[in-house]
Structure 1
Amino acid sequence: MNLEVKTENYIENLHWRYATKKFDKERELSEEDLQKLLESVRLSASSYGLQPYEIFVIKDTETKKKLREAAWNQPQLTDSSHVFVFANFRKIEEADIDAYLDNIAKTRNISREDLKGMEDMLKTTILSFTEEEQRIWGAKQTYIALGNLLSAAAEFRIDACPMEGFDNSKFDEILELNSKNLTSSVIATVGYRSEEDNVQHLDKVRKSKSELYTIL
């Protein structure tokens, strides 16, 4: 398959995807498909590569029921196969940056001393943020990962629905995020669309290229 065909397929899959409102409750993601999504999200870009967040992937029925109650009873929470909860760090500590640098050194087989310049830059920049600034910055990083999830799901012909309509504090309580220095920022339900979901048949509405882009 040449590059042009792959590109056409990717664009076609983006047209195919939509924010699924009604999932097929009888269909679950295979372990293979779930792992493809997990790896796709793991490879997401983030500022400095730090990934100041964790992602909770929920399949447990009882937990999904609790989350549904905290999301104004939206059925996607229980009808989908899995719920992805993106949770950013409440506060980024020096130890978080050290762990990241240790990972770089191990992965690339270099010494920590070689990363001294990067260490100084990261700590000077990130640790100078207020806790609120850190939370806002971390939440922005989760949205990059969410975008990667949606794009990957479309490529694999898996349905997904990004969602901001949930009670953040209740999600944090249900998943015990406060004790983990985390707070939920955005979620996505993942599975397969129901044939009864009429939204899938609607034309996709987006700005035209001339309205959206300014090319200088």
Structure 2
Amino acid sequence: MTPEELLHSLNWRYATKEFDAEKTIPNETWDAIEQSLILTPSSFGLQPWKFITVTDQKIKDELMIHSWNQRQVADCSHMVVLCAKAKVGNDDIDVWLDRLVEIRGVERESLDGYAGMMRGFLANMDERDTIAWAKHQVYIALGQLMASAAVLGIDACPMEGILPAEYDRVLGLQDGGYLTTVGCALGYRSAEDKYAEIPKVRYQRDSVIGSI
């Protein structure tokens, strides 16, 4: 991909307001999008999240009710609910260290310094702080999801206008250790969506980018 192609994809994307409910994202394309979520970077690599893909029409219809009746939820091909881990502690660090040992073939003892740094970081936060931190990580994943979709020619609409507690109930997350944070509807824009042709409005480069 050239720099020009990248910028074309990012200019092409917009927060899709109307999806074509008759079009479905192909399995191969969707697999790549899910892999892009898995590849999202996170603080310390701890990945304090879960991503739930909803394609069942009945569930999408129910979620729409708890999304201020925004049709994107019901009409999109795939609705992704991005969830933050409700509690992150030393057990999660141990699981992550085990995964590092498995993949990289290093000795567990060689990770002691890294482990101590992570434990110290979490020890300085209460539960509310930890949840806020985890939700910040989820937004990194949302950005990666939307950018990856744009590169693949898939439309997306990030959605904060949802009722997280109701999403948790519908998706059975109440006791699952995860909290709905944000949603993202993905699919193909409708030919009737007038917002597709409206020019983007962004500040000038020198208003938002500085250099030293």
Deviation at 1:6, TM superposition (A): 1.4
Q: Is 1:173–2:203 an aligned residue pair?
A: no
> What are the Cα deviations for residues 106-146 of structure 1, in whole angstroms up to 9, with x where unaligned?
11011211111111111121133110000000000000000
Give the whole-Å Cα distance in 2 for the aligned partners of 1:121 and 1:110. Answer: 18
Write the mapping of 1:98-113 to structure 2, written as runs, cut at 5 A.
98-113=94-109
Give the whole-Å Cα distance in 1 for the aligned partners of 2:68 and 2:11. Answer: 29
Deviation at 1:41, TM superposition (A): 1.3
Give the whole-Å Cα distance in 1 for the aligned partners of 2:163 and 2:140. Answer: 21
TM-score w.r.t. length of structure 1: 0.96
Q: May I ask how many residue pairs the two structures share in their alignment? A: 212
- Residue 131 of structure 2 is matched in structure 1 by 135
Name the aligned partner's letter for residue 35 of structure 2: E
Give the whole-Å Cα distance in 2 for the aligned partners of 1:143 and 1:161. Answer: 14
- Residue 39 of structure 2 is matched in structure 1 by 43
- Residue 119 of structure 1 is matched in structure 2 by 115
Q: Is 1:14–2:21 an aligned residue pair?
A: no
> What are the Cα deviations for residues 172-205 of structure 1, in whole angstroms up to 9, with x where unaligned?
1111212111101111000000000010000011
Say if 2:89 and 2:122, in contact at 8 Å, map to a contact too. no
Give the whole-Å Cα distance in 1 for the aligned partners of 2:112 and 2:84. Answer: 26
- Computed over aligned residues only, the root mean square deviation of the Cα atoms, in angstroms, reads 0.9
Write the mapping of 1:1-216 to structure 2, written as runs, cut at 5 A.
6-216=2-212
Name the aligned partner's letter for residue 24 of structure 1: D
Give the whole-Å Cα distance in 1 for the aligned partners of 2:207 and 2:115. Answer: 42
Give the whole-Å Cα distance in 2 for the aligned partners of 1:128 and 1:174. Answer: 34
Give the whole-Å Cα distance in 1 for the aligned partners of 2:129 and 2:174. Answer: 18
Segments of 5+ residues of structure 2 without an aligned counterpart are: none
Runs of 4+ that moved beyond 2 A: none
Name the aligned partner's letter for residue 13 of structure 1: S
Give the whole-Å Cα distance in 1 for the aligned partners of 2:135 and 2:69. Answer: 24
Where 1:187 maps in the other structure, the secondary structure is strand
Say if 1:92 and 1:127, in contact at 8 Å, map to a contact too. no
Name the aligned partner's letter for residue 70 of structure 1: H
Segments of 5+ residues of structure 1 without an aligned counterpart are: none
